[in-house]
Structure 1
Protein backbone atom coordinates (compact mmCIF):
# COMPACT_ATOMS: atom_id res chain seq x y z
CA UNK A 1 0.00 0.00 0.00
CA UNK A 2 1.28 3.45 -0.89
CA UNK A 3 0.59 6.95 0.43
CA UNK A 4 -1.25 7.89 -2.76
CA UNK A 5 -3.82 5.14 -2.01
CA UNK A 6 -5.13 7.41 0.76
CA UNK A 7 -5.32 10.55 -1.40
CA UNK A 8 -8.87 10.05 -2.61
CA UNK A 9 -11.22 13.03 -2.95
CA UNK A 10 -14.11 10.84 -1.76
CA UNK A 11 -12.58 10.88 1.74
CA UNK A 12 -13.30 14.63 1.95
CA UNK A 13 -17.04 14.15 1.47
CA UNK A 14 -19.16 16.30 -0.81
CA UNK A 15 -20.31 19.25 1.29
CA UNK A 16 -18.05 22.29 1.15
CA UNK A 17 -18.28 25.91 2.21
CA UNK A 18 -16.30 28.64 0.46
CA UNK A 19 -14.81 31.05 2.99
CA UNK A 20 -14.22 34.68 2.02
CA UNK A 21 -12.99 35.11 -1.54
CA UNK A 22 -10.50 34.08 -4.18
CA UNK A 23 -6.82 34.97 -4.24
CA UNK A 24 -4.80 35.10 -7.44
CA UNK A 25 -2.19 32.51 -8.40
CA UNK A 26 0.51 33.82 -10.73
CA UNK A 27 2.56 31.69 -13.11
CA UNK A 28 6.13 31.45 -11.76
CA UNK A 29 7.81 32.22 -15.07
CA UNK A 30 5.52 34.80 -16.69
CA UNK A 31 3.95 36.33 -13.56
CA UNK A 32 0.62 36.18 -15.43
CA UNK A 33 -2.60 35.13 -13.69
CA UNK A 34 -2.91 31.35 -14.11
CA UNK A 35 -5.50 30.24 -11.51
CA UNK A 36 -7.25 31.20 -8.29
CA UNK A 37 -6.96 29.86 -4.77
CA UNK A 38 -9.98 29.45 -2.50
CA UNK A 39 -10.24 28.65 1.21
CA UNK A 40 -12.74 25.83 1.66
CA UNK A 41 -14.20 24.41 4.85
CA UNK A 42 -15.23 20.72 4.75
CA UNK A 43 -18.82 20.45 5.99
CA UNK A 44 -19.59 16.74 5.47
CA UNK A 45 -20.20 15.22 8.91
CA UNK A 46 -19.39 11.74 7.56
CA UNK A 47 -15.89 12.85 6.51
CA UNK A 48 -12.93 12.19 8.80
CA UNK A 49 -11.87 15.74 7.91
CA UNK A 50 -15.12 17.47 9.02
CA UNK A 51 -14.59 21.18 9.74
CA UNK A 52 -11.03 21.21 8.34
CA UNK A 53 -9.98 24.22 6.26
CA UNK A 54 -8.15 23.50 3.00
CA UNK A 55 -6.87 25.70 0.17
CA UNK A 56 -8.07 24.60 -3.25
CA UNK A 57 -6.47 25.79 -6.47
CA UNK A 58 -9.20 26.56 -9.03
CA UNK A 59 -7.85 25.94 -12.53
CA UNK A 60 -10.40 28.21 -14.17
CA UNK A 61 -10.08 31.95 -14.73
CA UNK A 62 -13.86 32.42 -14.81
CA UNK A 63 -15.36 30.04 -12.23
CA UNK A 64 -19.15 29.73 -12.05
CA UNK A 65 -19.18 31.12 -8.50
CA UNK A 66 -17.73 34.53 -9.26
CA UNK A 67 -15.61 36.99 -7.30
CA UNK A 68 -18.74 39.10 -6.79
CA UNK A 69 -20.71 36.13 -5.39
CA UNK A 70 -18.07 35.59 -2.72
CA UNK A 71 -17.54 39.30 -2.12
CA UNK A 72 -21.16 39.76 -1.05
CA UNK A 73 -21.27 36.45 0.91
CA UNK A 74 -18.42 35.77 3.34
CA UNK A 75 -19.32 32.06 3.25
CA UNK A 76 -21.23 30.10 0.61
CA UNK A 77 -22.09 26.40 0.10
CA UNK A 78 -20.29 25.17 -3.03
CA UNK A 79 -19.57 22.13 -5.17
CA UNK A 80 -15.95 21.54 -6.22
CA UNK A 81 -16.03 20.16 -9.77
CA UNK A 82 -13.42 17.48 -10.58
CA UNK A 83 -11.59 17.84 -7.26
CA UNK A 84 -8.19 16.17 -7.09
CA UNK A 85 -5.89 15.50 -4.14
CA UNK A 86 -2.17 14.89 -4.33
CA UNK A 87 1.06 15.30 -2.43
CA UNK A 88 4.41 16.79 -3.22
CA UNK A 89 7.36 16.69 -0.83
CA UNK A 90 5.07 15.67 2.03
CA UNK A 91 2.58 18.49 1.47
CA UNK A 92 -1.00 17.87 0.37
CA UNK A 93 -2.42 19.88 -2.52
CA UNK A 94 -6.01 20.20 -3.74
CA UNK A 95 -7.29 21.48 -7.07
CA UNK A 96 -10.50 21.54 -9.06
CA UNK A 97 -11.71 22.68 -12.47
CA UNK A 98 -14.65 24.83 -11.36
CA UNK A 99 -16.57 26.09 -8.31
CA UNK A 100 -20.33 25.64 -8.61
CA UNK A 101 -23.13 26.97 -6.37
CA UNK A 102 -25.22 24.47 -4.43
CA UNK A 103 -28.71 24.44 -5.91
CA UNK A 104 -31.42 24.35 -3.29
Structure 2
Protein backbone atom coordinates (compact mmCIF):
# COMPACT_ATOMS: atom_id res chain seq x y z
CA UNK A 1 0.00 0.00 0.00
CA UNK A 2 1.32 3.44 -0.91
CA UNK A 3 0.61 6.92 0.43
CA UNK A 4 -1.37 7.83 -2.70
CA UNK A 5 -3.84 5.04 -1.82
CA UNK A 6 -5.06 7.27 1.05
CA UNK A 7 -5.79 10.34 -1.09
CA UNK A 8 -9.50 9.61 -1.42
CA UNK A 9 -11.65 11.81 0.82
CA UNK A 10 -14.43 9.20 0.95
CA UNK A 11 -12.12 7.02 3.10
CA UNK A 12 -12.55 9.57 5.90
CA UNK A 13 -16.31 9.02 6.12
CA UNK A 14 -18.94 11.71 6.51
CA UNK A 15 -19.23 12.37 10.26
CA UNK A 16 -16.89 14.99 11.68
CA UNK A 17 -16.56 17.03 14.87
CA UNK A 18 -14.90 20.44 14.93
CA UNK A 19 -12.68 20.58 18.01
CA UNK A 20 -12.44 24.00 19.66
CA UNK A 21 -12.14 26.82 17.12
CA UNK A 22 -10.41 28.18 14.06
CA UNK A 23 -6.83 29.38 13.84
CA UNK A 24 -5.62 31.83 11.22
CA UNK A 25 -3.50 30.92 8.20
CA UNK A 26 -1.43 33.83 6.90
CA UNK A 27 -0.11 34.20 3.37
CA UNK A 28 3.67 33.64 3.43
CA UNK A 29 4.50 36.67 1.32
CA UNK A 30 1.97 39.30 2.40
CA UNK A 31 1.31 38.05 5.97
CA UNK A 32 -2.39 38.72 5.35
CA UNK A 33 -5.13 36.33 6.39
CA UNK A 34 -5.67 33.81 3.57
CA UNK A 35 -7.61 30.93 5.20
CA UNK A 36 -8.43 29.25 8.50
CA UNK A 37 -7.28 25.99 10.01
CA UNK A 38 -9.61 23.74 11.99
CA UNK A 39 -8.91 20.65 14.09
CA UNK A 40 -11.38 17.94 13.11
CA UNK A 41 -12.08 14.59 14.72
CA UNK A 42 -13.29 11.83 12.37
CA UNK A 43 -16.40 10.27 13.91
CA UNK A 44 -17.59 7.90 11.18
CA UNK A 45 -17.42 4.37 12.64
CA UNK A 46 -17.20 2.86 9.15
CA UNK A 47 -14.00 4.83 8.43
CA UNK A 48 -10.60 3.21 8.88
CA UNK A 49 -9.58 6.54 10.43
CA UNK A 50 -12.33 6.60 13.11
CA UNK A 51 -11.37 8.85 16.06
CA UNK A 52 -8.31 10.31 14.28
CA UNK A 53 -7.64 14.05 14.54
CA UNK A 54 -6.76 15.96 11.37
CA UNK A 55 -6.12 19.62 10.60
CA UNK A 56 -8.24 20.95 7.76
CA UNK A 57 -7.49 24.19 5.93
CA UNK A 58 -10.76 26.06 5.30
CA UNK A 59 -10.44 28.12 2.11
CA UNK A 60 -13.20 30.53 3.08
CA UNK A 61 -12.76 33.71 5.10
CA UNK A 62 -16.40 33.65 6.26
CA UNK A 63 -17.30 29.99 6.88
CA UNK A 64 -20.95 29.10 7.48
CA UNK A 65 -20.18 27.75 10.97
CA UNK A 66 -18.91 30.95 12.56
CA UNK A 67 -16.07 31.65 14.96
CA UNK A 68 -18.58 32.36 17.71
CA UNK A 69 -20.34 29.01 17.30
CA UNK A 70 -17.07 27.12 17.64
CA UNK A 71 -15.72 29.37 20.38
CA UNK A 72 -18.60 28.54 22.73
CA UNK A 73 -18.43 24.75 22.27
CA UNK A 74 -15.55 22.32 22.74
CA UNK A 75 -16.86 20.09 19.94
CA UNK A 76 -19.43 20.75 17.22
CA UNK A 77 -20.79 18.30 14.60
CA UNK A 78 -19.95 19.65 11.13
CA UNK A 79 -19.99 18.87 7.43
CA UNK A 80 -16.83 19.60 5.46
CA UNK A 81 -17.89 20.89 2.04
CA UNK A 82 -15.73 19.75 -0.89
CA UNK A 83 -13.09 18.12 1.29
CA UNK A 84 -9.90 17.24 -0.56
CA UNK A 85 -6.88 15.19 0.48
CA UNK A 86 -3.42 15.56 -0.99
CA UNK A 87 0.21 14.95 -0.14
CA UNK A 88 3.37 16.96 -0.38
CA UNK A 89 6.77 15.47 0.45
CA UNK A 90 5.10 12.49 2.10
CA UNK A 91 2.83 14.56 4.34
CA UNK A 92 -0.95 14.42 3.99
CA UNK A 93 -2.89 17.70 3.81
CA UNK A 94 -6.65 18.32 3.97
CA UNK A 95 -8.67 21.30 2.79
CA UNK A 96 -12.32 22.21 2.20
CA UNK A 97 -14.30 25.12 0.83
CA UNK A 98 -16.69 25.60 3.79
CA UNK A 99 -17.71 24.27 7.19
CA UNK A 100 -21.44 23.62 7.41
CA UNK A 101 -23.64 22.81 10.43
CA UNK A 102 -25.17 19.35 10.74
CA UNK A 103 -28.96 19.47 10.38
CA UNK A 104 -30.75 17.83 13.29
- TM interval, short-chain normalised: over 0.9
Verify: 1:23 aligned to 2:23, yes or no. yes
Q: Equivalent residue for 2:85?
A: 85
The 2-side partners of 1:6 and 1:69 are apart by: 31
Q: Is the 8 A contact 2:3 2:90 kept in 1?
A: no
The 2-side partners of 1:99 and 1:33 are apart by: 17
How far does the alpha carbon of each residue in 1:17-52 deviate from its partner, in whole angstroms, 9 at most, with x for none? 000000000000000000000000000000000000
Number of positions where the alignment pairs a residue of Structure 1 with one of Structure 2:
104
Q: Equivalent residue for 1:102?
A: 102
Q: Equivalent residue for 1:63?
A: 63
The 2-side partners of 1:6 and 1:96 are apart by: 17
Q: Equivalent residue for 1:53?
A: 53
After TM superposition, the score normalised by the length of structure 2 is 0.96
Instruction: Show structure 2 runs of 5+ residues with no match.
Output: none
The 2-side partners of 1:95 and 1:6 are apart by: 15
CA-based RMSD: 1.2
**Which of structure 1's runs of 4+ aligned residues deviate more than 3 A?**
none
After TM superposition, the score normalised by the length of structure 1 is 0.96
The 2-side partners of 1:20 and 1:2 are apart by: 32
